[in-house]
Structure 1
Amino acid sequence: MAEATANVERPGRLKEFWFYFRENRGAVFGLWVFLAFLFVAIFAPLIVPHDPSAQFRDHLLQPPAWQEGGDWSFVLGTDALGRDLLSRLLMGARYSFFVGIVVVVVAATGGITVGLLAGFAPKWLDSIIMRIMDVILAFPSLLLALVLVAILGPSLLNAMIAIAIVLQPHYVRLTRASVMSERNKDYVTSARVAGAGRWRMMFITVLPNCLAPIIVQAALSFSTAILDAAALGFLGMGAQPPTPEWGTMLAEAREFILRAWWVVTFPGLAILVTVLAINLMGDGLRDALDPKLKRS
Structure 2
Amino acid sequence: MRLQAVTLLWRAGIAAALVCAIGVLPWLSHTDPALTVLKARSADRDPTPEVLADIRAQLGLEKGPFRLLGDWLGGLWHGDSGRSWISGSEVTPAVLQALGVSLLLMAVALVVAAGTAALICSRTLRLGAGQRLDGRRAGGGGSAVLAALPEFLTASVLATVVGVQLGWLPALGWYGFQWTILPALALGLPAGAVLGRLLDDLLPGAFAEPWALAATARGLPGRTVARQALRRCLPGLLPNTGLFVVGITGGAVTVEQIYDIPGLGRTTLQAALAQDLPVLQAGTLALVLLAAVAAALAHLLTRLLIGPALRDGALPSPHRPAPPARRFLPLAYGGLLLAVIAVGLPRDPLALDTAERLAAPSGAHPFGTDALGRDVLARVAHGALDTLLLALAITAVTLLTGLALGLLPRLSGPVVDTVTALPPVLVALLVTAIVGSGGTTPALAVAAVAWTPLAAHTSALLRQERAALHLTATRALGAGRWYLLRHELLPAVVPPVTRHALLRLPGVALALASLAFLGLGAQPPSPEWGLLLAENQPYAERAPWAVLAPAAVLALLGALAVTAAGGIRRHKRTAAPEATDVPEKQPEPRELVTTG
By the TM > 0.5 criterion, same fold?
yes
- 1:206 and 1:27 map into 2 onto residues whose CA distance is 31
- 1:255 and 1:27 map into 2 onto residues whose CA distance is 28
8 Å contact from structure 1 (residues 28, 281) kept in 2: no
2:359 maps to 63
1:246 maps to 529
8 Å contact from structure 1 (residues 115, 172) kept in 2: yes
Letter in 2 for 1:61: R
| Pair 33,73 (structure 1): closer, same or farther in 2 beyond 3 Å | farther
- 1:257 and 1:275 map into 2 onto residues whose CA distance is 21
1:92-107 residue pairs with structure 2 within 5 A?
Answer: 92-107=383-398
| Pair 265,154 (structure 1): closer, same or farther in 2 beyond 3 Å | farther
1:19-58 residue pairs with structure 2 within 5 A?
Answer: 19-21=134-136, 23-27=137-141, 35-36=331-332, 38-39=334-335, 42=338, 46-48=342-344, 50-57=346-353
1:98-177 residue pairs with structure 2 within 5 A?
Answer: 98-118=389-409, 126=410, 128-148=411-431, 151-177=434-460
Aligned counterpart in structure 1 of residue 559 of structure 2, from 254, 277, 293:
277
Aligned counterpart in structure 2 of residue 85 of structure 1, from 345, 353, 376:
376
- 2:523 and 2:487 map into 1 onto residues whose CA distance is 42
8 Å contact from structure 1 (residues 50, 84) kept in 2: no
Aligned counterpart in structure 1 of residue 511 of structure 2, from 214, 219, 228:
228
Offset of residue 150 of structure 1: 5.5
Offset of residue 148 of structure 1: 3.4
Q: Which runs of 5+ in 2 are unaligned?
A: 1-132, 145-325, 571-596
- 2:329 and 2:468 map into 1 onto residues whose CA distance is 40
Higher alpha-carbon deviation: 94-103 or 257-266: 257-266
| Pair 111,38 (structure 1): closer, same or farther in 2 beyond 3 Å | same
Offset of residue 147 of structure 1: 3.8
Offset of residue 164 of structure 1: 2.2
- 1:259 and 1:90 map into 2 onto residues whose CA distance is 23
Letter in 1 for 2:414: R
- 1:45 and 1:219 map into 2 onto residues whose CA distance is 21
Higher alpha-carbon deviation: 80-89 or 105-114: 80-89
Is 1:216 equivalent to 2:499 in the alignment? Answer: yes
1:75 maps to 366
Q: Which runs of 5+ in 1 are unaligned?
A: 1-17, 67-71, 119-125, 290-296
8 Å contact from structure 2 (residues 344, 380) kept in 1: no
What TM-score, normalized to structure 2? 0.37
SS at match of 1:181: helix
Offset of residue 100 of structure 1: 3.0
- 1:261 and 1:99 map into 2 onto residues whose CA distance is 27
Higher alpha-carbon deviation: 85-94 or 36-45: 36-45
RMSD: 3.7
8 Å contact from structure 1 (residues 99, 225) kept in 2: no
- 2:540 and 2:435 map into 1 onto residues whose CA distance is 31
Higher alpha-carbon deviation: 230-239 or 90-99: 90-99
1:233-280 C-alpha deviation (Å, 9 max, x unpaired): 212222333332211112233555565444334334443x33663686
SS at match of 1:215: helix
1:14 maps to none
Letter in 2 for 1:245: E
Letter in 1 for 2:135: Y
- 1:228 and 1:159 map into 2 onto residues whose CA distance is 9
| Pair 58,224 (structure 1): closer, same or farther in 2 beyond 3 Å | closer
SS at match of 1:20: coil
Offset of residue 166 of structure 1: 0.9
- 1:47 and 1:156 map into 2 onto residues whose CA distance is 26
Higher alpha-carbon deviation: 182-191 or 226-235: 182-191
| Pair 47,19 (structure 1): closer, same or farther in 2 beyond 3 Å | farther
8 Å contact from structure 2 (residues 513, 530) kept in 1: yes
Q: Which has the higher helix share?
A: 1
8 Å contact from structure 2 (residues 382, 527) kept in 1: yes
Offset of residue 207 of structure 1: 0.8
1:127-174 C-alpha deviation (Å, 9 max, x unpaired): x43112111122334543554356444445432232222121211121
- 1:33 and 1:236 map into 2 onto residues whose CA distance is 36
SS at match of 2:504: helix
1:93-144 C-alpha deviation (Å, 9 max, x unpaired): 34333233222211110110111133xxxxxxx1x43112111122334543
Letter in 2 for 1:277: A
8 Å contact from structure 1 (residues 76, 84) kept in 2: yes
What TM-score, normalized to structure 1? 0.68
- 2:439 and 2:334 map into 1 onto residues whose CA distance is 20
SS at match of 1:176: helix
Letter in 1 for 2:384: A
8 Å contact from structure 1 (residues 179, 206) kept in 2: yes
8 Å contact from structure 1 (residues 219, 281) kept in 2: no
| Pair 137,89 (structure 1): closer, same or farther in 2 beyond 3 Å | same
- More RCO (CA 8 Å, sep 6+): 1
- 2:361 and 2:447 map into 1 onto residues whose CA distance is 39
Q: How many residues align?
A: 255
SS at match of 2:451: helix
8 Å contact from structure 2 (residues 352, 374) kept in 1: yes
1:7-50 C-alpha deviation (Å, 9 max, x unpaired): xxxxxxxxxxx9423x5344499587764553355566632274
